[in-house]
Structure 1
Amino acid sequence: MARRTDGGVRFRPVGSRRSRTAPVYSPRGTGCPAIEQAVQGLYKGQNEESFWSLMSALNYALELETHVLVPLQTALSAQGAPAPWMEHPIPAEKADGLALWTLRNDKGRCWLPLFTSVAAAGADRSTASRPMADRTLEQAMQLALDTPGIDGVVLDPWSNSASLDGALLNGLLHAGHTPEGPGAEEAEAGKEAARAGHWAAAAECYQKAAEQGNSAGLSLLGECLYQGRGVPKSAAQARKLWKAAAESGETIALLNLGDDCAARGDNGKALLWYRRARQSAAAVPDIEYTPRVCLRLAQYETRYTSRKKALALAAEAKQAFTILQREHEPDADCWLQEAEQLLYALTHEPPTAPAAYNIESLQLD
């Protein structure tokens, strides 16, 4: 039921609803699931493996140009009531020069709080009514390094939190990426050639990487064969290379095997491959493959079980594909279009019935 402009009442048909608004990958939308999950894992694991999982999640968040909320040392809202600052934070360019609100521990060390979501910032009265600045995670980390008297940052201090001192911040922001392992340099050279559209050169580099046993090279050479990019088209040979790479847990190969099953109408087996890709990507998320995992799981599974989770996955994928498109990554245009179509479907169309297959009875070849 809704009120008309003339004062009367307008009734909606039974079952009708307003279209939802798709969330945005930001503190005011989805938050940063990768960081939040990694911090929870650190609390549960309390070991070196969970620590490095957090570092990987932070690197991924930096790749995605993740934004955080940074509290400011300015006047609170009237009577300490919740203010609109968290929902409408101050843009970074307008927050320059404003004093930062910090926390000090019992050892006298000073930490800059960073909040990954509005809910995390509003969990305590001291920040629920405090003005916030909207900065990228990279900007906020660099701000902590550049501000005298601040020893580091603390992520979401009112819940599961993680403190990062100056040494860790320096490592995250300034460490270079050097390809490691046999064939890694050749695979990277192939990616650069592919971004420039030089497919014959890319395929040659991938071939050299594959000959050295590099699983990424195998996967990417398989993509060239499957699409006929720079080499004669051969789907059968592509599948053979992908399965060889999948044996070592190569996420891109697992995704490609799933896409191949989906293209042939076998969505059940496609989902099994996507689930394996999710397991492979969990420990070391990366903009190269994690967004594709998010998109495929949202398309083939989560949309049937939780529209809210599917929206969050699709929003994360869209954020990454927008960045990859800007960097001229092959196929980023298509992936971005798929993510936008899924977001539209989830916010405008009735829920979709799940596919009629018994996932528990399926097996991969």
Structure 2
Amino acid sequence: MAKRQDGGIRLRPVGTRKHRQNAPAYSPAGTGCPAFEQAVENLYKGQNEESFWTLMGALNYALEMETHVLVPLRTALTVHNTPAPWTEHPVPTAKAKDLQLWTLRNEKGRTWLPMFTSAAAACADRSTSARPMADYTLQDAMELALSTEGIDGVVLDPWSHSATLDGALLNGLLHAGHTPEDPGDEKADAGKEAARKGNWAQAVECFEKAAELGSTMGLALLADCIYKGRGTRTNRAEARRMWKEAADSGEILSNIALGDDCAARGDNGRALLYYRRARANAAHMPDIEYTPQVCLRVAQTETRYTSRKKALALAAEARQGFSIKAREHEPDAEQWLAEADQLIRELTSELPARATAYDMESLQLD
């Protein structure tokens, strides 16, 4: 907001900047790990079994996303009593292997390895604000704690809302296999594996069997094949019907797909409603299967018009997930990755975002 010479007030549109906005990375020095941080905050608010399992889901997502954390080291400081740039320029994993870890000890005599999901969390206390930090993936850091004699577990972000994980929880997070929840999910997983190999006819067959067994994920993936004509004849009306059936059961990919279909037909307001519903459904159980898509679509259609900084953080998280999925030859991951890169380029340009107004009160989903 700025004053005009005539005494009036000039409002600067949201998202405009005179200087180029830098794109953050999905890392402690960039976005942190929003899913974990939100889950811990909800655990402190809820203090119940549901919020605990939500936290476990967020940690599983962080492991899937190859999230990095900062681990403090017990080494001599070159500059005393002043903040050092270790949080933004940590010691690489390869160089930190032989360095002694800095730990915390509680009144019961148990020793915990602290880990920080963001630079801000590491700098929240003087004891670590100037301490050298090592950069580890969350998985490597957890395995390091398990393999180091004398360490009983880890505590994530100890100076704020924190989560303490003992050895049993670490083992469970690191070594628990993927167990299909619904009867048809095993068939759906087989279909996804066939799709990665480009065998769409086999994928369709697996998705059909999964849907028959009651898997909403299988139904959503089958609808995607029918919509795009992969391994079967194209029938978009039937695909929409199947997506709506799956979406009514809370299936997240179906909501994203329905939103994309609305956007392709120019109905951007209704598309936003589907994306919002996908975001609400994904909030309690993030997963690399769908959360990157949710982040990207919300950033593209809503957040970019309200906060460029938040939109960039969502785009960075999406990009991280799509990069991993592309490496694993997930169908369409390269296309999603290209969209995330394009959004980041747009958000870091000097051009302000042009807001799109919708009469949200008059919109409703069928």
- Settle same-fold status: TM greater than 0.5: yes
Equivalences for 1:108-257 in 2 at 5 Å?
Answer: 108-257=109-258
Summarize deviations over 1:204-251 as a string: whole Å, max 9, x none.
110111112210111000000000000000100000000110111000
Partner of 2:272: 271
Summarize deviations over 1:148-189 as a string: whole Å, max 9, x none.
110000010000111000000000000111223221111111
Bigger shift: 164-173 or 178-187?
178-187
Summarize deviations over 1:271-314 as a string: whole Å, max 9, x none.
00001001111111000000000000000000001111100000
CA contact (8 A) 1:216 1:250 kept: yes
The gaps in structure 2 that reach 5 residues or longer are: 1-15
1:333 aligns with 2:341: no
Partner of 1:297: 298
Residue aligned with 1:133, SS: strand
Bigger shift: 79-88 or 223-232?
79-88
CA distance in 1 between counterparts of 2:102 and 2:186 reads 44
Partner of 2:7: none
CA distance in 2 between counterparts of 1:206 and 1:281 reads 22
Give percent identity, aligned residues only: 70
CA distance in 1 between counterparts of 2:109 and 2:278 reads 44
Partner of 2:6: none
Partner of 2:46: 45
CA distance in 1 between counterparts of 2:96 and 2:242 reads 51
Partner of 1:31: 32
- The letter of the residue matching 1:241 is M
Residue aligned with 1:80, SS: coil
Residue aligned with 1:79, SS: coil
Summarize deviations over 1:318-362 as a string: whole Å, max 9, x none.
000000000000000110000000000000142222213211221
- The letter of the residue matching 1:273 is Y
CA contact (8 A) 2:259 2:275 kept: yes
CA contact (8 A) 1:77 1:130 kept: no
Partner of 1:4: none
Runs of 4+ in 1 over 3 A off after TM superposition: none
CA distance in 2 between counterparts of 1:283 and 1:214 reads 20
Using the TM superposition, give the Cα deviation of residue 265 of structure 1 relative to its aligned residue in structure 2, in angstroms: 0.7
CA contact (8 A) 1:295 1:317 kept: yes
Residue aligned with 2:150, SS: coil
Summarize deviations over 1:28-74 as a string: whole Å, max 9, x none.
00000011101101100000000000000000000000000000001
CA distance in 1 between counterparts of 2:272 and 2:254 reads 14
The structure showing larger relative contact order (alpha-carbon pairs under 8 Å, at least 6 residues apart) is 2
Using the TM superposition, give the Cα deviation of residue 16 of structure 1 relative to its aligned residue in structure 2, in angstroms: 7.7
Partner of 1:83: 84
- The letter of the residue matching 2:55 is L
Bigger shift: 347-356 or 215-224?
347-356
Partner of 1:67: 68
CA contact (8 A) 1:77 1:129 kept: no
Using the TM superposition, give the Cα deviation of residue 17 of structure 1 relative to its aligned residue in structure 2, in angstroms: 2.8
CA distance in 2 between counterparts of 1:179 and 1:16 reads 47
CA distance in 2 between counterparts of 1:210 and 1:79 reads 62
CA distance in 1 between counterparts of 2:327 and 2:296 reads 19
CA distance in 1 between counterparts of 2:220 and 2:31 reads 31
The gaps in structure 1 that reach 5 residues or longer are: 1-14
CA contact (8 A) 1:35 1:58 kept: yes
Residue aligned with 2:155, SS: strand
CA contact (8 A) 2:83 2:130 kept: yes
- The letter of the residue matching 1:91 is P
The verdict on how the C-alpha distance between 1:67 and 1:16 changes in structure 2, with shifts beyond 3 A counting, is closer
- The letter of the residue matching 2:278 is A
Partner of 2:284: 283
1:258 aligns with 2:259: yes
CA distance in 2 between counterparts of 1:327 and 1:226 reads 23
Summarize deviations over 1:70-126 as a string: whole Å, max 9, x none.
000011242321011111100001000110000011111100000000000001110
- The letter of the residue matching 1:45 is G
CA distance in 1 between counterparts of 2:191 and 2:154 reads 38
CA contact (8 A) 1:38 1:53 kept: yes
1:93 aligns with 2:97: no
CA distance in 2 between counterparts of 1:221 and 1:44 reads 39
The verdict on how the C-alpha distance between 1:16 and 1:55 changes in structure 2, with shifts beyond 3 A counting, is closer
